[in-house]
A and B are shown apart, each in its own frame.
Chain A
């Protein structure tokens, strides 16, 4: 399929793309809901203001915590003997550890604040008066959400998703801590680079993967710019 790449390289590349795509897509609805909550003007009640500050802090935690710490926390919670992971394995047969789904979960968590921030900014920038106008024209709450709020936030949603996708391609610490470094299963591009550097004389291999990463990052950042511009029109 991709002839200039070795089978191992294309395996790492495809796995990276799959992990990031699943991570961003699954996190998006939650990110939108969180951004909606955070962007709403806090009316009166001090309790709601405090709640908002708390949620804002928790959402941004993965951005400031060392990724290794996030991976470790995930391992504690979602490991086969962890409270959440154990339950999921026993009742639904879902396993995160040593699996690409675990890598996706770690990526989703790490890039979640990026999505929330972008969507929140778009929501805050759109005119609240438009929602009022829609109300007086008979649009109820979910109607307004689908036909006014969502389309107006679309540039933010798209650029947030693409930025999160690009960042997710580079995630290392949380993935290697949570789901280890298994070729074909959890070995994404950055983990493959790390693995190549562990082998004597693996620098050439590492450099090739590095170049591939740079190419991908540039591609997606440019795409984000174009998509946001197109959606704004």
Chain B
């Protein structure tokens, strides 16, 4: 399970020059518009032909300009979910869903059609026409259509960018579930930190047609110096449901401690992704007592970035990295420097919701 991408293309003033490799899972292409995200997706899908490049998915070479090898888009098995859905207006939802399936050389089984319909909540839409669907429903159908084409990889080109916040929140749980359940390598184009934090395993940060940073989502999003112009998150990590406590809270164990969160209706041992906002973490030099916050984690300061009257304090809690955003004045008063032991008081924890 790997995707290998090397592309070099110049058109007008824009030059694309990128190389990256992923180990499967969800790889986010992250960056501002004009950074080259969509150009990369088009080249991987075979909709544009780069001047120089090599693309391989799970070892199958789709493009190699040095070897004059070019697999046309219709034979690449790289399904795309476009930002504007691109559903066929003259077909029912069902015919849209089955368009790629009917043409696939390796067909998904009937059971998996039912599974995709269930996974994306499409059961009630099958006989409808795309015209009558809401934006969120269109996105789900486009996603189902791509999945049923039995692709070797999935390319998602800002699939949520044209939706409002409420619709986005409606789709994200489906995507989270998909990312968890499928083994398909996915490339997810986005300029939203939240989407990336919720879905990505790895991140490739793009700027002006070049890769400016690459790494795991857990590291990159909590690195105070990794992505210029993007403030770090408080934390992104995987935890497992360890205990349903008698006080009604659920205990999530992670590498570095445990967090008590509002009751999660999941089986014990279930893996969930946890996100903290940097603004929701307070710091104390001594262990606070009699405090309303449910979570106090012992940490060590590992790095600092001060800018203006704010400071981002990077912490290590076991092997897990946290970032607290505090004022410059607080930082000076507490005498925070790398190596100092502190307690992180977590005011609020966001855990992915169940789709449906």
CB within 8 Å of B: which residues of A? 127, 129-130, 132-140, 143, 148, 151-152, 154
CA distance A132 to B73 in the complex (A): 9
Pairwise interchain contact A139-B86, C-beta atoms closer than 8 A: no
B70-111 to A contact mask, C-beta < 8 Å, 1/0: 001111111110101010111000000001100111000000
B90 to chain A, nearest CB (A): 5
Give the residue name and chain of the A residue nearest to B83 (CB).
A129
Interface: B26 (CB within 8 A): no
Q: Which of B86, B88, B90, B103 contacts A138 (CB 8 A)?
A: B103
B contact residues around A132 at 8 Å (CB): 47, 73, 86
Pairwise interchain contact B74-A138, C-beta atoms closer than 8 A: yes
Pairwise interchain contact B86-A133, C-beta atoms closer than 8 A: yes
B32-49 interface with A by 8 A CB criterion: 45-47
Pairwise interchain contact A135-B88, C-beta atoms closer than 8 A: no
| 20 pairs from A and B in contact (CB 8 Å cutoff) | A129-B86, A130-B88, A132-B73, A133-B82, A133-B88, A134-B88, A135-B73, A136-B45, A136-B47, A136-B73, A136-B149, A137-B74, A137-B103, A137-B149, A138-B103, A138-B104, A138-B149, A148-B88, A151-B90, A152-B89
B contact residues around A139 at 8 Å (CB): 74, 99, 103
* Residue of A129, A130, A133, A143 most packed against chain B (CB within 10 A): A133
B183 to chain A, nearest CB (A): 20
Give the residue name and chain of the B residue nearest to A140 (CB).
B74
Give the residue name and chain of the B residue nearest to A154 (CB).
B90
B contact residues around A140 at 8 Å (CB): 74
CA distance A140 to B88 in the complex (A): 16
CA distance A152 to B87 in the complex (A): 12
B40 to chain A, nearest CB (A): 15
Pairwise interchain contact B47-A127, C-beta atoms closer than 8 A: no
Pairwise interchain contact B74-A129, C-beta atoms closer than 8 A: no
A contact residues around B79 at 8 Å (CB): 136-137
CA distance A138 to B99 in the complex (A): 9
Q: Given A137-B145, A138-B103, A152-B90, list of 8 further CB < 8 A pairs? A: A127-B86, A133-B86, A136-B45, A136-B76, A138-B74, A138-B100, A138-B104, A138-B105
Give the residue name and chain of the B residue nearest to A127 (CB).
B86
Q: Which of B76, B78, B84, B103 contacts A143 (CB 8 A)?
A: B103
A contact residues around B47 at 8 Å (CB): 132, 135-136
* Residue of A138, A139, A140 most packed against chain B (CB within 10 A): A138
Give the residue name and chain of the A residue nearest to B80 (CB).
A136
B contact residues around A154 at 8 Å (CB): 90
* Residue of A136, A148, A154 most packed against chain B (CB within 10 A): A136
Give the residue name and chain of the A residue nearest to B77 (CB).
A138
B42 to chain A, nearest CB (A): 9
